[in-house]
Amino acid sequence: ATPTSIMAGTGRSAENGVLFKGGEHLENTRGLQTIVLDKTGTVTKGEPALTNVKVAPDFNEESVLAIVGAVEKNSEHPLAEAMVKGIEEKGISLRESEGFEALPGFGVRAFVDGDEVLVGTRKLMQTSSVPIGSASDEMSAFEKEGKTAMLIAIDGKYAGMIAVADTVKETSKAAIQRMHDLGLEVAMLTGDNQQTAEAIGKQVGIDRVIAEVVPEQKAEEIKKIQDQGKKVAMVGDGINDAPALAVADIGMAIGTGTDVAIESADITLMRGDLHSVADSVQLSTKTFRNIK
Ligand code: ADP
Ligand code: MG
């Protein structure tokens, strides 16, 4: 390909909302073997909504939710926004909390009226020595539906669980099919639970699900695939995805995502759907078709 054809290629792709940071990235997109997609906000819309609440015996749903809302109000995580919105829509007024702490990949912690409150994963409960009894099985039922369920502990006791659901983007399945048609392997990488991730993965035809990965390990997972001799593209939208976007052979940021993700990536996908991933690969192949 001549400099002119590369310029023509990146220009044409810009018209379709695919912004290459430089012509070298167009060339580098050629020969990709594996596409790794972040789940939340990339495969899914990233707009979770509150779906279910269950409280343990001896706990009152309204008071538990007033406490959970008070804690989650401090978190910027999309899951937290969904919970707070859902709780407020039930007409429940939130309590006050203090000493908020985010535990990336696990959940959140704060104090309400002097009681420690935890909201998050099974592992969070385990490491905090909160016995959850049969709640894990109840949680699995939600996860098999593709929902993200979070456990609640108040003052060291299991108090209930809260589930939210995100929906897949209408275009994800067809776009992943196109990636398959281009001979690409498609994986999904997420901090979310394995069962939830598998349920979502199944809806859109993902080949391989890599779940329960804490944010600092996302880049590690990309390196592992590269160590298997694969040329890898990472597609993501969040701050959490930035290191993985930088490590990947090609990083693609969803244009509606965070600035940090866009800065770390080689390509910005302005359309915000996964068809742009297939478009990038197709365009690169076309532009460099006659080059060995
Ligand atoms: P993702 O990769 O899907 O963005 P994260 O790594 O941010 O996931 O989060 C992983 C898990 O940690 C979530 O599925 C959830 O169980 C828990 N978690 C994260 N943030 C919160 C929060 N604000 N409140 C409760 N749980 C949370
Ligand atoms: Mg995301």
pLDDT score for 290: 64
Express each pLDDT in 208-246 by its tens digit.
999 999 888 999 999 999 999 999 999 999 888 999 999
Q: What's the average model confidence in pLDDT over 54-82? A: 96
Domains of the chain from N-terminus onward: 3-45+168-287 (3.40.50.1000), 49-165 (3.40.1110.10)
pLDDT score for 215: 85
Examine the pLDDT at 292 and tell me if it is beyond 60: no
Pocket probe mutation, ligand 1, options 150, 152, 218, max atoms within 8 Å of Cβ: 150
Q: Dihedral through CA 279, CA 214, CA 48, CA 180, nearest 10?
A: 30
Express each pLDDT in 27-52 by its tens digit.
899 999 999 999 999 999 999 999 99
Q: Closest-lying ligand to the alpha carbon of 37?
A: 2
DSSP classification of residue 48: -
- Please report, for the chain, how many H helices and E strands are present, in that order: 12, 13
Quote the CA–CA distance of 69 and 12 in Å, as a whole number.
Answer: 47
Model confidence at 291, pLDDT cuts 50, 70, 90, reads low
Q: With a 6 A CB cut-off, is 108 part of the ligand 1 pocket?
A: yes
Question: Residue 244 — φ and ψ, nearest 5°?
Answer: -70, -35
Q: Closest-lying ligand to the alpha carbon of 191?
A: 1
CB 267 within 8 A of CB 251: yes
Q: With a 6 A CB cut-off, is 48 part of the ligand 1 pocket?
A: no
Give residue 9 CA to ligand 1 midpoint distance, Å: 39
pLDDT score for 44: 96
Helix runs in 205-241, H state only: 218-227
160 three-state secondary structure: strand
ipTM confidence: 0.94
Model confidence at 2, pLDDT cuts 50, 70, 90, reads confident
Helix runs in 182-257, H state only: 194-204, 218-227, 242-247
